[in-house]
Chain A
Amino acid sequence: MKKLLVALATTALFSLPVVAADYKIDDKGAHAFINFKIKHLGYSWLTGRFNTFSGTFSYDEKDVNASKIVVDIDATSIDSNHAERDKHLKSNDFLNVSKYGKAKFVSTKITDKGNNQLEVVGDLTLHGITKSIVIDAEKIGEGKDPWGGYRAGFSGATKLGLKDFGIPERLGPASTHVELELHVEGIRQ
């Protein structure tokens, strides 16, 4: 009986639910995207993405303000569907990935704006420079997936000035800022 109690207590201790659920971004299944777009000459949008990244977040519907997110991005994985352009983007004219191969985002404050809207403030490290940025985010949904897991997904948008991250503005007056479109789906751990 005593043994059983100990066993039960141990089980209970280890299966205690963490306050906010921890999620791992589903990069394996590619249900997350870090897309960017920048104006080309002011006449159209050029889009691209970072193919390789990983991250985790914690989120609880009942206590959204306690949420956190951390994402590590491989800057060398930039992909604009044109090898010569990607080579140029990776060179020291832009991201200088041989020196600054890693980008990172760490949230510092997440605020529930109601209606599934969130404001995510955090430090973005890009091109070796760390700056606080604000991401307007939206919870898209959460729930069980068909394979026995539990998922939650968000999208977010923000705008970065190239100059703010020490990236030379070489693309003309219409292309001084790049917009990020973020889509993350996490699998609850």
Chain B
Amino acid sequence: MLKNTFQAYGAMTKIVHWLVAVVVLGLFALGLWMVDLTYYDEWYRSAPHYHKSIGILLAVVMIFRTVWRLCNVRPEVPIEHTLFEKKAAHSAHIILYVMIFLMVLTGYLISTADNRGIEVFNWFEVASLGSFFENQEDIAGDIHRWLAYGLIGLVSVHSIAALKHHFIDKDNTLKRML
């Protein structure tokens, strides 16, 4: 089943969830690694190129994901979950979405501060909207970095919570996303 039902997540939701998970972790690792490459490293130019290209495509996926989420029903929360767990999980999911969008936005602001667009895999170019504030590349860069640490922190909490439900509470919280 492609779409969600009241009983289960649909295939699309699951596929996109895991795709975004892999991409976000990959971009984090790539980003962390690429900023320390030396000038003569053969990846010095290509690593940021891939990082930016994948980031833009992630934005497209996330927009689709948000639309999909809004026009699908949400499966009922497992009855074992406490009210606190429901609220915490729901807030965490929303914050994860917001953080990913902010990551894309700040990344975009770094690269486009000088009116240069972003080349996506030499496939198409996302135009620059110019500079919105002084020292945009530095300020957006700082936010991008700290937001990334925050995002990975929240991803860890999200994952640990899922594993806790699976191994300790032994409910189907994790399984229903598989």
Contact = CB atoms under 8 A, between A and B. Distances in A.
A and B associate in one complex: yes
Interface of A: 76, 81-84, 86-87, 90, 170-172
The 10 A-B pairs with the shortest beta carbon distances in the complex, nearest first, are A83-B113, A83-B114, A83-B137, A87-B137, A170-B39, A171-B39, A87-B141, A87-B138, A82-B114, A90-B138
Contact of B110 (A81, A87, A170, A171): A87
B123 interface: no
Contacts, number: 31
Contacts of B112: 83
B156 interface: no
Nearest to A76: B135
B38 A86 contact: no
A82 B39 contact: no
Nearest to A98: B138
Given A82-B114, A82-B116, A83-B110, A170 B38 contact: yes
B132 interface: no
B84 interface: no
Residues of A contacting B: mostly: helix
A83 B128 CA distance: 12
A76 B40 CA distance: 25
21 contacts: A76-B135, A76-B138, A81-B114, A82-B114, A82-B116, A83-B110, A83-B111, A83-B112, A83-B114, A83-B131, A83-B136, A84-B110, A84-B111, A87-B110, A87-B137, A87-B138, A87-B141, A90-B138, A170-B39, A172-B39, A172-B40
B118 to A, nearest CB: 11
Contacts of B138: 76, 87, 90
Contacts of A87: 110, 137-138, 141
Interface in B116-148: 116, 131, 135-138, 141
B144 to A, nearest CB: 10
Nearest to A79: B114
Contacts of B135: 76
A84 B38 CA distance: 15
A15 B131 CA distance: 48
A87 B40 CA distance: 18
A170 B48 CA distance: 18
A171 B111 CA distance: 21
Nearest to A86: B137
A36 B102 CA distance: 35
A83 B136 CA distance: 8
A83 B48 CA distance: 14
A170 B136 CA distance: 24
A83 B116 contact: yes
Interface string B63-89: 000000000000000000000000000
**B38, B40, B114: which has the most chain A beta carbons within 10 Å?**
B114
